[in-house]
């Protein structure tokens, strides 16, 4: 029987604010998984800490709501221990680019076959609206006593430099587009970053749904219309993010340059879609080359003992012989 989005929902109580961008992303995740017909039992979600981090509780798959900033290393451990699972790591902009920034960079060095999806709303919502690493300088959201004194980081440019092999940006309320990006990120054989812009209706009073979508009220009808949307889709502009020949260093340099340039666009026009993609050997591939048993097993499923007798499966006689002195 075909799986539906409903099959990926749970009855856990959802306490997000009305209008929160998290809802759009949650729906897109559930729909994307259903459309891909992934068995819920084969999917393992990890999240850090923040409003967004409750997401795994609302998705009917295996889920771990971990520590602030640590979604990635938890997910890396799980994925490397059992690469047969579809592992998705969820982060927040404060969680993933602030306290967890070291993992954001270093996971880029590993090219695991995994999607890292970051809920990016520019504020620390759960602690009442402090500036996050993606809030632009001089912006003063509702709960900031003074305008933001820090510059913002550009997660897409950082991911490019760190070695992510799929880099994309989505928007929380672009259901169809976001679904497609999630699926592309999961299908990408390698490490994918999907940064998802989302309004925080409670604390980010600047980058609102109206701001992103250019919504203006029609005075006569009272209906909001997208008069001048800031967001536009890269694929509609003929932009080609893909490195077609991963052995061609010139093509790589050109595609990286193009992605970097696109990542700098902000303000009146903001691109969404895939910025960069290259297919390279994964960390799992490299591990298999080193540890012969991984060609047949995973660390999680390797037989370690005889279930009946409890006898350990491994024989260390040879290693002990090397240490034997008499």
Partner 1 sequence: MIGGWQGSGVDSSANTFARACAAGGLFVFGKREYHSNIKGDHSYFQIRVSEEEIHSHIDEVHLLATFDKETMEVHKQEVVKGGGILYDPSLFKPEEIGRPDCLLIPIAYSEIIQATAKEFHREKDIMKLQIMKNVISVAVSLGLVGLDFDLLKTTLEEIFKGRRAALAPMNVWAARKAYDYAVKDYQSEYPHRLKRRSIPASERRIMMNGTTATALGKVVGGCRFQTYYPITPASDESEYLESHPEFGVVVIQSEDEIAAITMAIGAAVTGARASTSTSGPGFSLMAEGLGWAGMNEVPVVVFNYQRAGPSTGLPTRHEQGDLKFALSASHGEFPRLVLAPGDLEEYFYDAIDAFNYAERYQTPVIVLCDKALANSTETIPWYDLDGVHIDRGLLLSDEELAVLISSEGTYKRFKFTESGISPRSVPGQRGGIFWKTGDEHNEVGHITEDPENRTKMMIKRMKKLDVAAREIPIEKKVNFIGDRDADITLVSWGSTKGAILDAMEVLKAEGIRANFLQVHLILPFPTEFVAQVLSRARRRVNVEMNYSGQLAQVIREKTGIPMDASILKWNGRAISQNEVVEGVKRVLKEQESKVVLTHGT
Chain centre distance of CA 315: 41
Tell the smallest beta-carbon distance from residue 224 to partner 1 (Å).
34
Pairing of strands 43-47, 62-65: parallel
For partner 1, what does the binding mask look like between residues 34 and 53, x meaning CB under 8 A?
Answer: ------xxx-x-x--x----
Stretch that binds partner 1, among 103-111, 126-134, 247-255, 262-270 (CB under 8 A): 103-111
Tell the smallest beta-carbon distance from residue 83 to partner 1 (Å).
10
Alpha carbons 242 and 231: distance in angstroms, whole number: 21
Question: Which of 84, 254 has the CB closer to partner 1?
Answer: 84
Alpha carbons 20 and 201: distance in angstroms, whole number: 6
**Binds partner 1 (CB under 8 A): choice among 24, 50, 73, 91:** 73
Question: Which of 1, 320 has the CB closer to partner 1?
Answer: 320
Question: Which of 149, 326 has the CB closer to partner 1?
Answer: 326
Tell the smallest beta-carbon distance from residue 32 to partner 1 (Å).
18
**Binds partner 1 (CB under 8 A): choice among 3, 52, 61, 93:** 61
Alpha carbons 130 and 179: distance in angstroms, whole number: 29
**Binds partner 1 (CB under 8 A): choice among 21, 50, 56, 122:** 56
Which residues in 270-289 contact partner 1 (CB under 8 A)?
A: 287
The answer to whether 51 touches 9, Cβ cutoff 8 Å, is no
Tell the smallest beta-carbon distance from residue 14 to partner 1 (Å).
11
Question: Which of 147, 312 has the CB closer to partner 1?
Answer: 312
Chain centre distance of CA 162: 15
Helices 175-187, 21-35: inter-axial angle, 10-degree rounding: 50
Tell the smallest beta-carbon distance from residue 163 to partner 1 (Å).
13
**Binds partner 1 (CB under 8 A): choice among 84, 150, 228, 249:** 84
Question: Which of 53, 182 has the CB closer to partner 1?
Answer: 53
List all residues 6 or more positions away from 291 whose beta carbon is below 8 Å from its beta carbon. Answer: none
Which residues in 288-317 contact partner 1 (CB under 8 A)?
A: 290-294, 297-302, 304-305, 307, 309-314, 316
Alpha carbons 106 and 163: distance in angstroms, whole number: 9
Alpha carbon distance, N-terminus to C-terminus of the chain: 65
Adjacent-strand bridge partners of 47: 65, 90
Size of the site for partner 1 (CB under 8 A): 65
Which residues in 202-231 contact partner 1 (CB under 8 A)?
A: none
Please compute, for residue 188, the number of CA atoms within 13 A of its CA located in the half-sphere on the CB side: 30
DSSP state of 167: E
Alpha carbons 152 and 97: distance in angstroms, whole number: 10
Alpha helix ranges (H) inside 44-154: 55-58, 71-81, 93-94, 101-107
Tokens for 109, please give them: 């060095």
The answer to whether 158 touches 105, Cβ cutoff 8 Å, is yes
The answer to whether 252 touches 278, Cβ cutoff 8 Å, is yes
For partner 1, what does the binding mask look like between residues 10 and 29, x meaning CB under 8 A?
Answer: x-xx----------------
Question: Which of 223, 304 has the CB closer to partner 1?
Answer: 304
**Binds partner 1 (CB under 8 A): choice among 63, 125, 185, 190:** 63
Residues that bind partner 1 (CB under 8 A): 10, 12-13, 40-42, 44, 46, 49, 54, 56-57, 60-67, 70, 73-82, 84-85, 102-103, 105-106, 287, 290-294, 297-302, 304-305, 307, 309-314, 316, 319-320, 323-326
């Amino acid at each position: 029987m075909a799986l539906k989005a409903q099959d990926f929902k749970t009855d856990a109580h959802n306490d997000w604010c009305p209008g929160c961008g998290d809802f759009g992303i949650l729906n897109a995740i559930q729909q994307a998984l259903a459309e891909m017909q992934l068995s819920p039992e084969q999917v393992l979600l990890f999240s850090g800490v923040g409003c967004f981090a409750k997401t795994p509780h609302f998705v009917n798959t295996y889920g771990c709501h971990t520590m602030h900033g640590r979604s990635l290393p938890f997910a890396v451990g799980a994925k490397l221990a059992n690469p047969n699972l579809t592992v998705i790591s969820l982060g927040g902009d404060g969680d993933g680019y602030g306290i967890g920034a070291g993992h954001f960079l270093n996971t880029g060095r590993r090219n695991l076959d995994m999607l890292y999806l970051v809920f990016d709303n520019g504020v620390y919502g759960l602690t009442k609206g402090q500036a996050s690493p993606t809030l632009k300088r001089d912006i003063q959201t509702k709960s900031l006593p003074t305008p933001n004194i820090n510059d913002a980081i550009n997660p897409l440019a950082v991911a490019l430099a760190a070695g992510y092999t799929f880099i994309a940006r989505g928007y929380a309320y672009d259901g169809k587009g976001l679904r497609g990006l999630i699926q592309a990120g999961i299908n990408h054989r390698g490490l994918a970053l999907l940064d998802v812009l989302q309004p925080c209706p409670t604390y980010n009073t600047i980058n609102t749904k109206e701001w992103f979508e250019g919504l203006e009220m029609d005075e006569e009808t009272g209906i909001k219309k997208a008069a001048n949307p800031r967001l536009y889709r890269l694929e509609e502009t003929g932009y080609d993010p893909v490195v077609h020949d991963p052995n061609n260093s010139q093509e790589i340099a050109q595609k990286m340059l193009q992605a970097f340039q696109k990542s700098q666009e902000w303000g009146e026009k903001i691109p969404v879609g895939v910025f960069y993609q290259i297919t390279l050997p994964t960390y799992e591939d490299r591990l298999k080359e080193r540890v012969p048993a991984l060609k047949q097993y995973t660390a999680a499923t390797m037989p370690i003992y005889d279930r009946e007798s409890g006898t350990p499966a491994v024989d260390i006689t040879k290693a002990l012989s090397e240490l034997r002195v008499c």
